[in-house]
């Protein structure tokens, strides 16, 4: 493979690595979690950036570890996907999560974590770029989406919510995962529609396997 092709194929992995590095550095920086997390009161008082930076913050080491594991798996499985895919879908997911949390009728005062963006990335990447038939890709993406919807529904059931909290080390706000999936789809849809962003797999004939 030519050097240029190799560089292009790893562009997405580099972007994901950058996300992981930022999240790790923030975790190591004293006081960063409290100053940058999603804090509804602070956001409504003008600190709007916390709606986005909060997704790079984490509650504890286990929370950070599991989210970085998800990012690493994405980089491994979908490293040939163009960088613009990760940028467009990631921004779409992050914005959707921020707006969704702010608009919820039962306000969430604090939120931390990359899991919503990771869910959005995964479903979008499987559905648009993974190998195999379109039916297979759609089935995998659908199963993950169903899992998230089930999580949203079971948040109202204390026993199941307690089980997820014990497994992950922190309470899970599954609705944010749903926001991330919807936002990622919107992001890649906009990228696909923009002719100046030629993304592999976004040809006019429809999505296809990554090159």
- pLDDT digit string, tens, across residues 6-65: 455 567 788 899 999 999 999 999 888 989 999 999 999 999 999 999 999 988 888 888
pLDDT at residue 174 greater than cutoff 90: no
Instruction: Compute the average pLDDT of residues 177-194.
Output: 84
61 contacts: CB under 8 Å, gap ≥ 6 = 27
Q: What is the pLDDT of residue 189?
A: 80
d(CA 55, CA 45): 19
**Rg of the chain over CA atoms, in angstroms?**
17
Min mean pLDDT across 44-58, 68-82, 84-98 is at 68-82
Min mean pLDDT across 70-74, 85-89, 123-127 is at 123-127
Class of the CATH domain delimited by 3-193: mainly alpha
- Residue 173's CB is within 10 A of a number of other CB atoms, namely 21
Q: What is the pLDDT of residue 110?
A: 87
pTM of the predicted structure, to 2 decimals? 0.74
Q: What is the pLDDT of residue 11?
A: 74
Q: What is the pLDDT of residue 19?
A: 92
Q: How confident is the model at residue 125 (pLDDT cuts 50, 70, 90)?
A: confident
Is the CB of residue 90 less than 8 Å from the CB of residue 168?
no
Is the CB of residue 119 less than 8 Å from the CB of residue 177?
yes
Mean residue pLDDT across the chain: 75
Q: What is the pLDDT of residue 170?
A: 56
The fraction of the chain above a pLDDT of 70, given in percent, is 65
Is the CB of residue 153 less than 8 Å from the CB of residue 90?
no
Is the CB of residue 177 less than 8 Å from the CB of residue 115?
yes
SS3 track for the chain: CCHHHHHHHCHHHHHHHHHHHHHHHHHHCCCHHHHHCEEHHHHHCCCCCHHHHHHHCCCCHHHHHHHHHHHHHHHHHCCCCCHHHHHHHHHHHHHHHHHHHHHCCCCCCEECCCHHHHHHHHHHHHHHHCCCCHHHHHHHHHHHHHHHHHHHHHCCCHHHHHHHHHHHCCCCCHHHHHHHHHHHHHHHHHHHHCCCCCCCCCCCCCCCCCC
State in Å, rounded, how far the first CA of the chain is from the last one. Answer: 12
């Amino acid at each position: 493979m030519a050097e240029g092709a190799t560089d292009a194929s790893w562009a997405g992995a580099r972007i994901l690595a950058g996300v992981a590095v930022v999240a790790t550095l923030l975790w190591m920086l004293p006081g960063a979690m409290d100053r940058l997390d999603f804090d509804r009161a602070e956001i409504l008082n003008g600190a709007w950036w916390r709606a986005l930076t909060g997704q790079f913050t984490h509650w504890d080491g286990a929370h950070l570890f599991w989210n970085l594991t998800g990012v690493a798996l994405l980089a491994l499985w979908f490293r040939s996907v163009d960088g613009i895919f990760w940028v467009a879908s990631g921004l779409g997911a992050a914005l959707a999560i921020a707006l969704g949390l702010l608009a919820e009728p039962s306000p969430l005062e604090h939120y931390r974590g990359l899991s919503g963006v990771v869910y959005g990335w995964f479903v979008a990447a499987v559905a648009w770029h993974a190998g195999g038939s379109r039916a297979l890709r759609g089935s995998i993406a659908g199963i993950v989406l169903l899992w998230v919807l089930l999580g949203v529904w079971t948040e109202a059931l204390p026993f199941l919510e307690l089980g997820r909290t014990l497994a992950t080390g922190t309470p899970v706000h599954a609705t944010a995962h749903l926001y991330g999936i919807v936002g990622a789809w919107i992001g890649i849809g906009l990228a696909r529609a923009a002719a100046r962003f030629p993304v592999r797999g976004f040809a006019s004939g429809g999505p296809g396997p990554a090159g």
